[in-house]
Structure 1
Amino acid sequence: MLKNTDLPDMIHSQSLSRENLLLLLLAVDVSTPKSVKTLIALGKTAGCTEIYKWNVSEILKRTRGMAIRLPEGWSLTSKGRNFIRSSGILHHGKSVKVVNNAQQLRAHLTRIKNTDTKAFLDETINAYEGALYRSSVVLSWTGAMSLLYDQVMSTCLSAFNIEASKRYTKWKNAKIKDDLARMGEADFLDIIGSPPISIISKNLKEELKNNCLKLRNACGHPSSLKIGENRTSAHLEVLILNIFTKFV
């Protein structure tokens, strides 16, 4: 949800209560519970020099169920994560485009039933908000492909297998979702973007193959490639408007 390097700007560019500041610290590497000692160290590193004077546990107890004390340390609850996302604290200083795209993705997240796809999209949003752009490209693509696989499984699996067998003589009929991943993604898009399947348009097929898939491949392999907010946002916009909106 948040990186260590984001903390100084977020803390010092807005006026935060002690409760909100500690919740923000818990959002760093959000899946890892943190001891009081760790929270104090994080705060001091981010420039909050007074944190060592605070009764951290007592302050977190006053957060109305947004933080919970586990054996390993303090952690954000789902209520706390939602608060951090919706309050504007996490988005302070981020561009309107990043905020809007993240909000759109979260809106679609609530409608997705498949738990694996949901997990990929949740990780996508966290990576995007944390400026981990290559990761968000790879994860968003995986989530989009998962939705397309679901669509084939639920609407046209028999027709897909027939068409795949015509094109690729060694194709073994897919029976479960994972079987579809045996086919190369570009080949899969060719089939679903052409008659008689046509669950995506020809233009969308070309956009996905020539831009989104190529970017995903570039980001998914070790290289010196660097991408920024604008390129990532454009990639996500295509997937939001054409896949996540349509196939959830």
Structure 2
Amino acid sequence: MKLVEYLNPIKNSSQRARILAVMYFLESAEAKSTFSTSELRTALTQARIPNVKSWNIAARLAGAGHTVHATGTAANRRWELTDSGREEVAAFAPPLPQDTQALVKQSEISALRTMVAAITDTEAQNFASEAVDCLEIGAHRATIVFMWVAAVHEIQERIWKNSTGPAITAAAQKHNTRAKSCKKRDDLSEYNEALLLQVAQDLGVIDKNQHTELKRALDLRNGSGHPNKLRPGEHKAKAHIEDIVTMLF
């Protein structure tokens, strides 16, 4: 299916709806995840949408609320659909070709396996590989949990290799006076993971920005690992793997 065919059933929809539909289609057909306004304008033009030159695509996206996420500076901004944005488009746009979706997913899984294979620590690599296995079969909550285990193992290893027991103990007890004294590597498993992240930052194992992002990943793990109504989608689970590998490995 070509983009012009995909957009035809929604040709009378709003500019915003058609822009989001283009992003949704290109994610599947071309395995893209972020877009500049010029890339979206080119795609709409090639799909023979009339009067595209006069569209203020940046304004339409800026007004799209929680359905899109922006990165980069104003001069170099890129846009991506959020999970809720994909759900919204799926509700009004035609279904995507299943064969295209399957090919893209296999390509993404293959790329993730290549990333994971580069992890040098055997234990961390095994946990991360299990996360990719879970993603491939659609077990998104399990994907998030296994990838977080890989992250925790790596952080524990870095702390133990780059510090001393007394220094680790002092950093932990600064935030929790009842924290256990760290005398051996396995004692790190006695620290809850929020404390572990704080100790890692205090000891210079991770920086402030990494701490912030890893705390978000921990919150997602907590939501995925306990009984609740959270149902993380494929893109969120995939991004969880990519973010942790990029930050830590």
TM-score (structure 1 length as normaliser)? 0.54
User: What does residue 118 of structure 2 align with?
Assistant: 107
Determine if the alignment matches structure 1 residue 139 to structure 2 residue 146: yes
- Match of 1:193, SS? helix
Determine if the alignment matches structure 1 residue 190 to structure 2 residue 198: yes
Structure 1 contact 102–128 (Cα < 8 Å) conserved:
no
Q: How far did residue 176 of structure 1 move?
A: 2.7
Cα distance in 2 for partners of 1:228, 1:106 equals 24
- Using a 3 Å threshold, how does the CA distance of structure 1 residues 138 and 207 change in structure 2: closer, same or farther? same
Cα distance in 1 for partners of 2:178, 2:150 equals 27
- Match of 2:111, SS? helix
- Match of 2:105, SS? coil
Stretches (4+) displaced over 4 A: none
- For 1:65-76, what aligned pairs fall within 5 Å after superposition? none
Structure 1 contact 160–191 (Cα < 8 Å) conserved:
yes
Cα distance in 1 for partners of 2:209, 2:145 equals 22
Q: How far did residue 173 of structure 1 move?
A: 1.4
Code of the residue aligned with 2:222 in structure 1: it is N
Structure 2 contact 180–190 (Cα < 8 Å) conserved:
no
The superposition leaves residues 13-48 of structure 1 with CA deviations (integer Å, 9 ceiling, x where unpaired) of xxxxxxxxxxxxxxxxxxxxxxxxxxxxxxxxxxxx
User: What does residue 242 of structure 1 align with?
Assistant: 247
User: What does residue 46 of structure 1 align with?
Assistant: none
- For 1:67-106, what aligned pairs fall within 5 Å after superposition? 92=103, 94=105, 96-106=107-117
User: What does residue 181 of structure 2 align with?
Assistant: 173
Structure 2 contact 127–147 (Cα < 8 Å) conserved:
yes
User: What does residue 219 of structure 1 align with?
Assistant: 224
CA RMSD of aligned residues (A): 1.9
Code of the residue aligned with 2:204 in structure 1: it is S
Q: How far did residue 228 of structure 1 move?
A: 1.5
Determine if the alignment matches structure 1 residue 161 to structure 2 residue 163: no
Aligned length, in residue pairs = 147
Match of 1:200 among 185, 206, 216: 206
Q: How far did residue 226 of structure 1 move?
A: 1.2
Cα distance in 2 for partners of 1:96, 1:135 equals 21
Structure 1 contact 102–129 (Cα < 8 Å) conserved:
no
- For 1:43-82, what aligned pairs fall within 5 Å after superposition? none
TM-score (structure 2 length as normaliser)? 0.54
What is the percentage of aligned positions where both structures have the same residue? Answer: 27
Q: How far did residue 92 of structure 1 move?
A: 4.7
Structure 1 contact 102–125 (Cα < 8 Å) conserved:
yes
Structure 1 contact 106–125 (Cα < 8 Å) conserved:
no
Code of the residue aligned with 1:213 in structure 2: it is L
- Match of 1:94, SS? helix
The superposition leaves residues 188-245 of structure 1 with CA deviations (integer Å, 9 ceiling, x where unpaired) of 1112113xx1111101101111x201110010012222111211122112101011x2
Q: How far did residue 104 of structure 1 move?
A: 0.9
Structure 2 contact 116–125 (Cα < 8 Å) conserved:
no
User: What does residue 229 of structure 1 align with?
Assistant: 234
Q: Structure 1, unaligned stretches of length 5 or more?
A: 1-90
Cα distance in 2 for partners of 1:101, 1:206 equals 23
Cα distance in 1 for partners of 2:177, 2:153 equals 25
Q: How far did residue 185 of structure 1 move?
A: 0.8
Cα distance in 2 for partners of 1:215, 1:123 equals 18
Q: How far did residue 171 of structure 1 move?
A: 2.2
More helix, by proportion: 2
